[in-house]
Amino acid sequence: MVEFTVFKGSKGGKIVEAKTTREVKHGQVLVRITHSGLCGTDLHYKGADMALGHEGAGVVEELGEGVTHLKKGDRVGWGYEHDSCGHCPKRAMYGYADLDQASMGTHAVWNEAFLFKIPDSMSNEDAAPLQCGGATVYGAMMNVKSKDVVGIVGIGGLGHLAIQFAAKMGCKVVVFSGSDSKKDEALRLGASEFHAVANVKSLSDVMDLKDEDNKIDHLLVTASAQIPWDLYLPAMAPNGTIYPLSVSEGELSLPYMPILLSGLRIQGSLVAARKVHHEMLQFAALHGIKPVIQTFPMTKEGVEECFKTLEEGKMRYRGVLVAEEKASKL
C-alpha cells in the first residue's frame, strides 16, 4: 500500500490538501507526478469532494505484477480516461471514477494500458497540457485533410493548440476572435488569416466567401461561451463539420435551415481514443508543437492561484502545476 497527497475540491469550492491510500495491483504502476495541467473542465469539479486534475505527467516509480509495457523511470502522461474493460463502450473517466486520485498531487496509481510514454524530445512541462487539451483538438481533426480550410473560434487553452496542429497538418487556418489583441500571436502560431469579429455582422465583410475555396470545411469552436451561429454558418463549405469543443452548460441551439441546406454536421469531441492520444503526442513531438503555459507550484497555495488565474480569464494559455525539485528538470 502507498499513501500520497492529493488536492481536492470541496462543496464550498475551496482547495483541500488530503491523503489517499492505494494498492499497486496487477497491471498497474505508481507514478510520481511532476506536472499537472489545469483544464477548463476542472472548474466544473472544484465544488465536488474529489481529487482534481486530468492532465498528468510524471515518472514511473513502482510496477505491479504483470506490467509489460512500462519500466521504472519511464516518463508518462495520462488524460481524461483511466480504464475500461475493453469489451464494452463504458470507460472509467475523470469526474466519474477514481475520485480519490487525479493529476494534482504527489503520486497516482494507474493501469499501464492508459498511460502514454512521453516522447524523448518533449518535456513533462509541455506534455501535461497536451494530455487533454492536445488530445481534444487533435481528436477532432482526424478527418481533416491538408487541402482543407480549418476555422478556429477563440484563442485560448484549446484554440492556441488547434492553430498549431492544423497548421502543421498543412491546412489553411482561419482564426476568429473578438478583438485584434491576439492577432500577432495567432499568426505566429501558424494562422493563415485572422479576423476580429466582435463588430462584424457578416463574415463576407472580412472574407471573400464568393470564392468557394475560402469557405470553412472544419470549424473548431473553442470559445468559452456559445457563439453567434448565424454569423458562422454562411461561411461553412457544403458538407462541412462543426466541432463544439468547450464544456458549456445549457442547450446547443443553431439555425435549422442552413444546416439542412448545406449538409453540415455537428461533431462532439471530448476524449480521444488511446491510439489517437498516442499519435497526437508523436505528431506534436515531430513538429515541435508546444502549449503556451504559465507555471505554478504544486502546493495548496499554487493550486488556488492557478484556479484563480483561469477563473479571472488571465491565463495564457494553459496553467501547469509543477512539483518541487526533481520535476523542474523533466
- How far does CA 308 lie from the centroid of its chain? 19
Q: What are phi and psi of 32, to 5 degrees?
A: -85, 120
Own/partner pairs for 263-270, CB < 8 Å, 24+ apart? Answer: 263/238, 263/239, 264/233, 264/236, 264/239, 264/240, 265/239, 265/240, 265/241, 266/241, 266/242, 267/140, 267/241, 267/242, 267/243, 268/243, 268/244, 269/136, 269/139, 269/140, 269/243, 269/245, 270/80, 270/136
Question: Mean of the pLDDT values across residues 150-163?
Answer: 98
The string of pLDDT tens digits covering residues 294-318 is 999 999 999 999 999 999 999 999 9
47 in Cβ contact with 11 (< 8 Å): yes
- pLDDT greater than 60 at residue 326: no
Q: What are phi and psi of 113, to 5 degrees?
A: -70, -15
Percent of the chain beyond pLDDT 90? 92
Question: Mean of the pLDDT values across residues 250-266?
Answer: 94
The string of pLDDT tens digits covering residues 85-144 is 989 989 999 999 999 999 999 999 999 999 999 999 999 999 999 999 999 999 999 999
Would you state the cell numbers that stand for residue 235, as one nine-digit string? 461561411
At residue 321 the predicted structure's pLDDT band, cuts being 50, 70 and 90, is very high
The string of pLDDT tens digits covering residues 41-86 is 999 999 999 999 999 999 999 999 999 999 999 999 999 999 999 8
Neighbours of 78 (CB within 10 A): 26
Residue written as grid cell 489517499: 20
3-class state of residue 28 by DSSP:
strand
Euclidean distance between CA atoms 174 and 261, whole angstroms: 23
DSSP string, 194-240: EEE-TT-S-GGGTS-TTSGGGSEEEEEE--SS---HHHHGGGEEEEE
How much is the mean pLDDT over the chain?
96
Euclidean distance between CA atoms 77 and 114, whole angstroms: 9
**pLDDT of 327:** 47
- pLDDT greater than 80 at residue 240: yes
Euclidean distance between CA atoms 22 and 223, whole angstroms: 38
- How far does CA 160 lie from the centroid of its chain? 11
56 in Cβ contact with 67 (< 8 Å): no
CA count, 13 A, side-chain hemisphere, 182: 23
**pLDDT of 329:** 55
Give whole-number Cα distances, 158 to 38, 137, 305, in Å. 12, 7, 20
- pLDDT greater than 50 at residue 34: yes
**pLDDT of 328:** 47
> In this structure, what is the dihedral angle of CA atoms 146, 151, 153, 157, given to the nearest 10 degrees?
0
